Amino acid sequence: MLMRDRFPILKNQIYMNSCSQGALSVDVKDAYASYLRDWDEKGSPWEYWAERNEAARQAFAGLVNAEASEVAVTTSLSAGVSALASAMDFSGERNKVVVSDFEFPTVAQIWHAQEARGAKVVHVPAAGNVIPLSRFEDAIDEQTALVSISHVCFRNGSKLDIEAITEIAHRKGALVLVDSYQALGTTPIDVKRLKVDFLAGGVLKYLLASAGLAYLYVRKELVGGLNPTTMGWFSQANIFAMDIYANTPHPTARRFESGTPAVPNTYAAVAGIKLVQSVGVERIEQQIKELTGAIKEGVMKRGFNLVSPVDPKKHGALITVRSHKVDLLTKWLAKDGIIVSHRDDNLRISPHFYNDLHDVDCVIDGLTRHRELLV
């Protein structure tokens, strides 16, 4: 299951930074080589490259149990959410956007930018490393247009109860957007079962591709009533019409796309998603539970300050540890051949299916060597 031989970096380093960037596989490297060959041999085959964009759409749709017509292929999560925001009307009484304090900056910033268009942004505060459901119940009301939440917090790994929050929002007439960037590829995600209205994510992290490609799922019943003003030629009903006299949005979620797609990244995205699916997301989830459990146990046994929730149901694939000099700790670990990252004062340790318990032992030993930066 580990497929360690497909990730060359693992020969020389302990790579535990999938929450920032997935390890490079030979599959993704070969995919980029395929793009260069196609460019060299075919010149500028835009019809073929448009098909590659469709392949990326199909791959993501299959991953989250969506229909392809419900998926927009974007260059970043920011681009997809910005297009969605441009399609929303905040001029009426239902003008409130509820965001949690676990959001990635770009998402919250996009909603605050809508304040110029009449949006009222309300934050749901955390209680330590969790956000109680009661706080969402209090924040969401009949004036709420949208609830925007992160599946897994990038700062501390805390996992929100998406189904419960969605039930609260829908009961009060609000729509729900989920940022699943830190969850995709680590746990099964079924947009139909979750009953979310929108779900955004990208391929940079646990989907094992690279920056430059992301997705926005839009529930099909909502597509026709949303008309984004953030547009581009790939958002049109006929991308090759080249009509400069009209804006004719595509009838599907493609209307949330923009200009020329990141063609090389579509090759990598398909390769990364196929690799994840070849292992099986359910199996990956079990492997990550074992690894994160071992990380938590090691951290607590050594007397370090675990920031992520202890309960495995309340955190994702990302485990965080407090450090009073976290930037220095990250650098020292890198010199030891251990690749991790940090946000705020939290060291982030994020395994994937290619990691094993030996990697965990190496990380815990590395922390112990530099314990003066932790306690």
The string of pLDDT tens digits covering residues 223-246 is: 999 999 999 999 999 988 999 999
Contact partners, residue 272, CB within 8 Å, separation at least 6: 22, 25, 27, 28, 203, 207, 208, 209
d(CA 43, CA 247): 30
Of 188, 187, 184, nearest in space to 201 by CA: 184
Q: The pTM is what?
A: 0.96
Q: Which one-letter amino acid corresponds to residue 22?
A: G
pLDDT of 367: 98
Sheet holding 341-343, edge to edge: 319-322, 346-349, 341-343
What pLDDT, in 10s, does the model give residues 84-93? 999 999 999 9
pLDDT band at residue 1, thresholds of 50, 70 and 90?
Answer: low
- State mean pLDDT over 34-59: 94
By the 10 Å C-beta count (0-12 exposed, 13-18 middle, 19+ buried), 211 is classed as middle
d(CA 71, CA 224): 13
Is residue 81 scored above 70 in pLDDT? Answer: yes
DSSP string, 84-151: HHHT---SSS--EEEEETT--HHHHHHHHHGGGGT-EEEEE--BTTB--HHHHHHH--TTEEEEEEES
How do strand 341-343 and strand 214-218 relate by DSSP bridges? unpaired
Of 315, 268, 332, nearest in space to 154 by CA: 315
Q: Same topology for domains 4-24+280-373 and 28-276, yes or no?
A: no
Residue 222: how many CB atoms within 10 A of its CB?
15
pLDDT band at residue 34, thresholds of 50, 70 and 90?
Answer: very high
What pLDDT, in 10s, does the model give residues 361-374? 999 999 999 999 99
Of 117, 123, 145, nearest in space to 136 by CA: 123
pLDDT of 28: 98
What is the phi/psi pair of residue 357, to 5°? Answer: -65, -25
DSSP string, 191-260: HHHHT-SEEEEESSSTT---TT-EEEEE-HHHHTT---SS--GGGBSSTTS--SS---B-SSGGGG--SS
pLDDT of 239: 87
d(CA 305, CA 296): 10
- Which pair of structure tokens corresponds to residue 98? 């509820």
pLDDT of 375: 77
Of 283, 338, 261, nearest in space to 50 by CA: 261
Query: For 4-24+280-373, which CATH class?
Result: alpha beta
Is residue 96 scored above 60 in pLDDT? Answer: yes
- State mean pLDDT over 111-127: 98
Percent of the chain with pLDDT over 70: 99
pLDDT band at residue 330, thresholds of 50, 70 and 90?
Answer: very high
pLDDT band at residue 140, thresholds of 50, 70 and 90?
Answer: very high
pLDDT of 297: 98
What pLDDT, in 10s, does the model give residues 198-229? 999 999 999 999 999 999 999 999 999 999 99
Sketch the domain layout of the chain as residue ranges. Answer: 4-24+280-373, 28-276
128: Cα separation from own chain's centroid: 23
Q: How high is the mean pLDDT of the chain? A: 97
Is residue 106 scored above 80 in pLDDT? Answer: yes
d(CA 1, CA 3): 6
Look up the CATH number of domain 28-276: 3.40.640.10
pLDDT of 153: 98
Whats the size of the chain, residue-wise? 375
- State mean pLDDT over 293-312: 97
- State mean pLDDT over 17-27: 98
pLDDT of 176: 98
pLDDT of 287: 97
